[in-house]
């Protein structure tokens, strides 16, 4: 039988994890604009929690570089800068390219079928104009390929960069033209996976990330122009 102390610990951890995930989704999907202060009181009321666990969750997001904790002001959603993007995407592109090459040699038919199912669901969200659903399936596809690489060091480094990457990917797909292009690139990704053509998949993934790199920079530049 579990002790009372054990039950309380599990309960707190579950609340903490849920708050982190829900706050992360709000920020990644633009629910709070970059540069804006996180409205702690309003969010605490919305989630039905006190501000203490909310602030603990924000510390995790600060470590993920999604928010900045400012003394006497609270948490502010971190703005992606061109330097951030220029540093992040070449590293992610190299990791995904290597992961794709390794995955093609390791994946079985069931794993490829799972990714194909995610792809079809992603397309359904795209056709319906559902960006949030599309975004989640898109991320799951990329993560599935990385995990299929079987390289623990690669997977660990990719996960460490996943939070800013997810936010940047969402920003890149806000453009209708770029969104359509990304879908076409995903068709090529799936085709290379089915052929188990590691060299082709590696090149497609690197080009895919380069396209997103350029799209995010255009969005940042556009935002800076509008603000000036």
pLDDT tens for each residue of 30-84: 788 888 999 999 999 988 999 999 999 999 999 888 899 998 889 999 888 899 8
Give the pLDDT score at 69.
Answer: 94
pLDDT class of 224 with cuts at 50, 70, 90: low
Report the alpha-carbon distance of residue 3 to residue 1 in Å, rounded. 7
Is residue 225 scored above 60 in pLDDT? no
Q: Which residues pair with 75 in a beta bridge?
A: 69
Give the pLDDT score at 12.
Answer: 52
pLDDT class of 175 with cuts at 50, 70, 90: low
- Give tens-digit pLDDT for 5-29: 443 443 455 888 889 988 988 888 7
Is residue 1 scored above 70 in pLDDT? no
Segment 166-176 mean pLDDT = 70
Is residue 172 scored above 90 in pLDDT? no
Report the alpha-carbon distance of residue 145 to residue 167 in Å, rounded. 19
Domains and CATH numbers, the chain: 4-77 (1.10.10.10), 82-227 (1.20.120.530)
Segment 124-144 mean pLDDT = 92
Report the alpha-carbon distance of residue 163 to residue 172 in Å, rounded. 15
- Give tens-digit pLDDT for 71-104: 888 999 988 889 989 999 999 999 999 999 999 9
Give the pLDDT score at 10.
Answer: 38
- Give tens-digit pLDDT for 181-210: 889 999 999 999 999 999 999 999 999 999
Report the alpha-carbon distance of residue 92 to residue 96 in Å, rounded. 6
Is residue 160 scored above 60 in pLDDT? yes
Give the pLDDT score at 4.
Answer: 38
The CA–CA distances, whole Å, from 10 to 2, 16, 17, 41, 49 equal: 11, 10, 11, 25, 17
Average pLDDT, the chain: 86
Closest among 178, 22, 197 to 112, alpha carbons compared: 197
| Helix 176-195 / helix 82-106 crossing angle, nearest 10 deg | 20
């Amino acid at each position: 039988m579990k002790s009372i102390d054990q039950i309380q610990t599990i309960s707190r951890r579950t609340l903490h994890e849920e708050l982190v995930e829900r706050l992360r989704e709000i920020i990644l999907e633009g629910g709070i604009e970059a540069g804006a202060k996180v409205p702690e009181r309003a969010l605490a009321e919305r989630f039905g929690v006190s501000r203490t666990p909310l602030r603990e969750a924000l510390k995790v997001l600060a470590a993920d570089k999604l928010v900045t904790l400012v003394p006497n002001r609270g948490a502010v959603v971190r703005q992606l800068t061109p330097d951030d993007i220029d540093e992040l995407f070449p590293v992610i592109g190299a990791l995904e390219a290597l992961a794709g090459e390794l995955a093609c040699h390791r994946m079985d038919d069931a794993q490829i079928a799972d990714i194909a199912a995610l792809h079809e669901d992603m397309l359904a969200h795209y056709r319906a104009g559902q960006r949030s659903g599309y975004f989640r399936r898109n991320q799951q596809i990329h993560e599935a390929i990385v995990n299929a690489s079987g390289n623990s060091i690669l997977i660990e480094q990719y996960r460490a960069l996943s939070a800013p990457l997810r936010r940047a990917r969402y920003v890149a797909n806000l453009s209708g033209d770029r969104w359509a292009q990304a879908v076409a690139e995903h068709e090529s990704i799936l085709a290379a996976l089915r052929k188990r053509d590691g060299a082709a998949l590696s090149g497609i993934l690197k080009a895919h990330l380069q396209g997103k790199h350029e799209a995010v920079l255009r969005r940042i530049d556009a935002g800076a122009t509008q603000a000036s």
